[in-house]
Amino acid sequence: MRRTAIVYDPFNLRHTLDGHPENYRRLQSTMTLLREDGILDRLVTVPSTPAPHESIVMVHRPQYLERVQRVAAAGGGHLDPDTYVNTDSYEAALRSTGGLLNLVDAVMWKQAQNGFALVRPPGHHALVHNGMGFCIFANVAIAARWAQRQHGVQRVLIIDFDVHHGNGTQDIFYDDPDVLFFSAHQFPYYPGTGAAAEMGGSAAYGATVNVPFPSHVGDAGYLEAFQRILAPVARRFKPELILLSAGFDAHWMDPLASMGLSITGYMALVEQLLELADQLCGGRLVCVLEGGYHLDVLSHSVLSTLRTLRGDAAGPSDPFGPAPSQERNTSSLLSSIRSLHSVRDSTFYSLPNKWLDWGDEFGI
């Protein structure tokens, strides 16, 4: 049984807007199920504190931080058409990021082997200069920088299986060869980014790996992508820490997308990440909540993730079962992406500090 940590802050419930899909009920319903299950008693509880300002400006412009604070102090408003701020949102966003940073500390200090940050507002769409897509601060990106600067980690692997492409995370690290970003997402779909040809800037070509799935791929397609693409590129990258942007809106019942995953299928992906973490970085895997807008699905997905992280014999909590629709075959798409990233069976390259430039070879 693994030691798994959790961070949660009830203050984050205060960031809410009636009628908006990203509202306080996402955490409230999830915590209700976790308490009913009793799993909280078996987890390492990590305290939540606001992130220090210097951690936020490792990623965001200081002027943006000041703008969020100013909008909140003035009674609220919008950072973009989808991203609201109320009087408590600035503090909630600081605590969302800060809780994740505390969880990274706990894992790096070996107080736990892995963990889950049950926090909101989410972060993977947030840009350097503005909020976007329900996100205020780029939680997972800030956590990667924190691990590098506070714990001496060099190489960080970020995986994003939210149904929406993590454009903010990608933009932040697009020219950084020390952060490998892997995203599997519905495409074309909001926010419109995440094509397979988006592979990183010239200094980090190949360190961005996008798997742009059509709708209704389902469990098998996602698992194949993790096994045939993520696993080999992760092994040659040799991360010292793995971060997961855990969005559960690719579930077949989620109202905002149409990918066809099940909770059991999601847990097969988490199992893959645990195997990679055990092989490559001493089991260090830190997950942070992103999307997921069917409240019951979200609650059971988080419970199942915590059980999987612990190695709990109870297994996933999946009362909804598999998608009723037929899954699409994605083997041809995945083979093309393997070619783009020069993935060959049983061949792994050791690239500790930089990636080979394969652009000329494949005409990209």
Structure tokens at 14: 């205060």
Q: What is the amino acid identity at position 17?
A: L
Neighbour-count burial for 270-280, b at 16+ CB within 10 Å, e otherwise: bbbbbebbeeb
- Packing angle between helix 218-225 and helix 331-340, nearest 10 degrees? 20
What are the residues whose beta carbons fall under 8 Å from the beta carbon of 233, sequence distance 6 or more? 180, 182, 206, 209, 341, 343
Cis peptide before 47 (omega within 30 of 0): no
What are the φ/ψ torsions at residue 336 (nearest 5 degrees)? -65, -40
Kindly list the catalytic residues. Answer: 125
CA 69 distance to own-chain centroid:
25
**What percent of the chain is helix, strand and coil (3-state, nearest 5)?**
40, 15, 45
What are the residues whose beta carbons fall under 8 Å from the beta carbon of 53, sequence distance 6 or more? 65
